[in-house]
Amino acid sequence: MADDEQRPREVEQFRAAHGADRIYVLTAITPFRRAMDRFVLLERDEGASLLLICVECPFRAPLDRGEPQPVTDEMLAEFRRRIDGAEKAWASDAVPDGAYDGMTLVAERASARGYDIVHIVAPRGNSPHARLIYAWTQVFPSVRKALH
């Protein structure tokens, strides 16, 4: 089975194993680096939500690898508000023709309703993809620090 076929199952199993109602994953991959930066938000309707931060994370590292940080109710509400405003981003990848060899951002989300993944390179202006990334960087300082 190809990696792209296994990924939804891997993310869903991780979500279920950690009692999360929803999970969001943002991965930053930069050419010529031997590692990636990955952020995993575990959102729970009942109980505390958590952000796992794995900077310089080895490729193929399990999703639970990383430094846990608590997520306040206010942070979670702000993230949900911002990410809901970027709903159209989940419809398709945003990789322009002739994309440069810069950072590729991979955004994933999983819930009981399903799994989505998008690849983003150099999102433009106020596009849904830019707003998706902005939701992460504006709410979580550790994400902002790693991506800028």
What 125-131 contacts at long range (C-beta under 8 Å, 24+ apart), as own/partner pairs, is 127/89, 127/94, 128/86, 128/87, 128/88, 128/89, 128/91, 129/86, 129/89, 129/94, 131/82, 131/85, 131/86, 131/89
Contact yes or no for 110/15 (Cβ under 8 A):
yes
**pLDDT value at residue 3:** 58
pLDDT at 1 over 80: no
**pLDDT value at residue 2:** 44
Q: What percent of the chain has pLDDT over 90?
A: 75
Q: Residue 64's closest CA among 55, 53, 76?
A: 53
* C-alpha distances in Å from residue 80, one per residue of 2, 30, 77, 87: 32, 27, 5, 11
Q: What is the pLDDT of residues 78-125, one digit of tens each?
A: 999 999 989 999 999 988 777 666 789 999 999 999 999 999 998 888
Q: What is the pLDDT of residues 34-79, one digit of tens each?
A: 889 999 999 998 888 999 999 999 988 999 999 999 999 999 999 9
Give every CB contact of residue 10 below 8 A, 6+ residues apart in sequence. 63
**pLDDT value at residue 47:** 85
If one looks up domain 3-140 in CATH, what number appears? 3.30.1560
Contact yes or no for 122/96 (Cβ under 8 A):
yes
pTM recorded for the entire structure: 0.92
